[in-house]
Amino acid sequence: MLQPLVLNCLVSVPELSSVVFAVPLRLYWVMDCVQTGVCELDNRKVKMRILMLIQRTHRIRRGITSCFLPPLVRLFHSSSSTMAKSKFEYVRNFETDDTCLRNCYIVVRLDGRNFHKFAEKHKFTKPNDNRALGLMTRSAHSVMEELEDIIIAYGQSDEFSFVFKRTSNWFKRRASKLMTHVASQFSSSYVFYWKEFFGEEPLLYPPGFDGRVVLYPSNRNLRDYLSWRQADCHVNNLYNTVFWTLVQKGGLTTAQAEDRLKGTLAADKNEILFSEFDINYNNESALHRKGTTLIWEKQDETVTKRVKLPNEEEKEVHVTRSRKRVRALHCDIIGEQFWEDHPDILEDDN
């Protein structure tokens, strides 16, 4: 913004008829203008300031190169930050440094806000609505495609966890930036892909997701975290499966079903399902029992290209190339088998 103003002023000053001094003065003037704020003065004072610069230049004509080069360097390296300064900039000092510790996996976990109400309003199927679970997975898929430093994601019910690799430097590892970007991308995707899973059933109001950031320094810590979330999936799904079976097939009210399940262990719940309803919990969908794990997987894809030969004929050629794609799995991630099958997910602790 300053250069056009300054150049116009220089052209209108008759004392700057010498090309030798006009060019360096023009550059020096921009820097001087930034430092002194003289651009806010009227035209007469501007001309006086220029004349003072001319006199200063004449006194140091032998050292003109060394005089103008440092201001020129500073101009092109720091003028933007200098011009952006104002008396209000001190408020930046109130910002908290939330840079995540290096050499740690960064986990961003999202949870649906008040999703019990959201599920009731939108009439989700109990105990599991495959449309809702599919929409959650599709939204998480969108997040991973946007942020390729996410090495694995795990979700169940109304939550999803995203793991950034230890060496990630996205958003300079600022926790607030990572969390808000993941949350906003996930939320907008949930709304964007709603019709893909729910068809003409309307979205009655926008969903909300809260987030948190947790750091895990070792592979063992990270695996234990993911194991905790999958164990939570098993506990919650087993309870919900028995609860809604008692209501939907057993004829109990929700209060009676809750009272029936008080103090029961996993074995007791499995016995209720098998003995009273002939349901083997182990035969239930792996999606519901294990949750959803998203990983990157290399896949070969073949495309057809038309190639022009030297004799000007065209020929179709099949080209195979490998690309990374996000793949959804419904499997156990607590045991060793998953990690042995996918050794590239975790970085070496050493």
Give me the amino acid identity at 248.
Answer: Q
Say how far residue 201 (Cα) sits from the centre of its chain.
29
Tokens, residue 328: 């959804």
Q: Which residues pair with 325 in a beta bridge?
A: 297
Residue 69 has pLDDT above 50, yes or no: no
Q: Which residue in 84, 80, 68, 77 sits closest to 32, CA to CA? A: 68
Three-class SS of 88-129: CHHHHHHCCCCECCCCCEEEEEEEECCHHHHHHHCCCCCCCC
CB of 121 closer than 8 Å to CB of 74: no
DSSP of 132-154: HHHHHHHHHHHHHHH-TTEEEEE
Give the Cα separation of 230 and 330 in Å (integer): 11
Q: Locate 197 and state its tokens.
A: 């899973």
Across the range 251-259, mean pLDDT stands at: 96
**Among 189, 105, 194, 190, CA closest to 153:** 105
Cβ count near 237 (within 10 Å): 22
Q: Which pLDDT belongs to residue 217?
A: 96
Q: Which residues contact 46 (CB under 8 A, 6 or more apart)?
A: 9, 38, 39
> Are the C-beta atoms of 151 and 101 separated by less than 8 Å?
no
Residue located via tokens 């390296």:
77
Q: Determine the longest span between alpha carbons in the chain, in angstroms.
A: 104
Most confident segment among 4-13, 16-25, 78-87: 78-87
Helix (H) or strand (E) holding 2: helix 2-11
137 — phi, psi (to 5°)?
Answer: -65, -40
pLDDT digits (tens, 9 = 90+) for 106-153: 999 999 999 999 999 999 999 999 999 999 999 999 999 999 999 999
Q: Evaluate whether 41 touches 49 at the Cβ level (below 8 Å).
A: yes
Which range, of 72-81, 214-223, 279-288, averages the lowest pLDDT?
A: 72-81
Q: Looking at the predicted structure, is the pLDDT value of residue 268 above 80?
A: yes
In sequence order, the 6+-apart residues with CB closer than 8 A to the CB of 192 are none
Measured in degrees and rounded to the nearest 5, phi and psi for residue 174 equal -80, 120
Question: Is the model's pTM score more than 0.75?
Answer: no
pLDDT score of 61 more than 80: no
Asked which of 248-257, 267-276, 318-327, 340-349 is least confident by mean pLDDT, the reply is 318-327
CB 156 within 8 A of CB 129: no
- Give me the DSSP letters along 301-342: EEEEEEEE-TTS-EEEEEEEEEEEEEEEE-S--SSSHHHHH-
C-beta of residue 33 within 8 angstroms of C-beta of residue 6: yes
CB 178, CB 165: distance < 8 Å: no
Residue 153 or 309, more confident: 153
